[in-house]
């Protein structure tokens, strides 16, 4: 994937250790320093998956300040899904039968100083679209996180996920993590749509608008101080209008 420029921002692949270190520092600030997650040594958020992934950086065009990053783990098909970050937390045996190329998107974050800049998310998805097209990816997946581990603030969001966005049975992830919130079986409420969308993480909202789906439970991740759901998107399910809009950004 080459450089992608749109408006004030540009997206590119990390080119070496310094770029990856910058992404890890932004992740630390976003996921650790400002959230109450368990502290890490060295001011960087790192794990063994970093060495296996491609890292995408979104920067300001002037000055090159890093404002967003995420990482991509390509898999040749579902038989390799056990190598993914998500497989630590979800039983993904059903997805082992997926026959096409897949990519896991993880550690997506936006600099808190730029959280209200919608063009950053737009450029990030443009870069993702270019990667998906170039690599012939047929499924995009990952973990979408809600901040904090208390469910009360997100009950309408989880009720909406239950009502409209659960994974097809043929791909449904099963429980693996020791602490989970089984929202699909526990919630009986009708969601308030406005409250649900207001508390839905922006990344997850984007997945859902493109036809994405989620697991029937959320993992309680005390280490990262989050609740997260497995999220999948079959590329062929993206509505044609949204696909055209993304490809316009991707160039």
pLDDT, residue 34, reads: 79
Across the range 167-195, mean pLDDT stands at 96
Lowest mean per-residue pLDDT among 21-30, 63-72, 241-250? 241-250
Domain residue ranges of the chain, discontinuous segments joined by + = 71-250
How confident is the model at residue 37, as a pLDDT? 79
**Residue pair 128/141 in contact by the 8 Å Cβ criterion:** no
Residue 186 has which token pair? 């526990």
* CA–CA separation, 166 and 149 (whole Å): 21
Per DSSP (E only), the strands in 160-202 are 174-175, 180-181
Confidence (pLDDT) at 95:
98
According to the model, what pLDDT value does residue 115 have? 83
Q: 60: which DSSP letter? A: E
Picking from 175, 156, 186, 178, the residue whose alpha carbon sits closest to that of residue 215 is 175
Reported as a single tens digit per residue, the pLDDT across 107-131 is 999 999 998 888 999 999 999 999 9
pLDDT at 136 over 80: yes
Q: Is 187:195 a contact under the CB 8 Å cutoff? A: no
- DSSP run (H or E) holding 202: helix 202-209
Residues in the chain: 251
pLDDT digits (tens, 9 = 90+) for 75-107: 999 999 999 999 999 999 999 999 999 999 999
Q: What is the pLDDT of residue 230?
A: 98
Mean pLDDT of 179-183: 98
Query: CB under 8 Å to 107, separation ≥6 — which residues?
Result: 23, 27, 31, 45, 69, 70, 71
Average pLDDT, the chain: 94
- Strand duo 66-75 + 54-60: pairing: antiparallel
The model carries a pTM of: 0.94
């Amino acid at each position: 994937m080459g450089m992608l420029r749109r408006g004030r921002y540009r997206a590119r692949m990390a080119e070496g250790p310094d770029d990856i270190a910058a992404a890890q520092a932004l992740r630390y600030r976003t996921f650790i320093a400002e959230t109450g997650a368990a502290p890490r040594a060295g001011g960087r958020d790192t794990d063994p998956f970093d060495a296996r992934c491609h890292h995408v950086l979104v920067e300001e065009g002037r000055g090159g300040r890093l404002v967003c990053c995420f990482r991509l783990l390509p898999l040749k098909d579902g038989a390799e899904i056990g190598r993914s970050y998500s497989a630590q937390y979800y039983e993904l045996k059903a997805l082992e039968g997926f026959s096409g190329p897949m990519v896991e998107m993880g550690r997506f974050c936006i600099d808190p100083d730029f959280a209200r800049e919608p063009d950053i998310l737009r450029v990030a998805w443009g870069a993702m679209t270019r990667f998906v097209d170039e690599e012939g990816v047929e499924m995009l997946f990952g973990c979408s996180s809600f901040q904090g581990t208390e469910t009360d603030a997100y009950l309408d969001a989880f009720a909406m996920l239950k009502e409209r966005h659960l994974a097809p049975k043929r791909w449904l992830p099963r429980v693996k993590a020791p602490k989970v919130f089984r929202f699909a079986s526990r919630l009986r409420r009708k969601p308030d749509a406005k409250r649900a969308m207001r508390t839905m993480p922006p990344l997850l909202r984007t997945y859902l608008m493109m036809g994405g789906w989620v697991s029937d439970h959320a993992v309680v991740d005390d280490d990262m101080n989050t609740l997260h759901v497995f999220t999948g998107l079959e590329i062929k399910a993206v509505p044609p209008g949204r696909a055209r809009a993304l490809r316009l950004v991707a160039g």
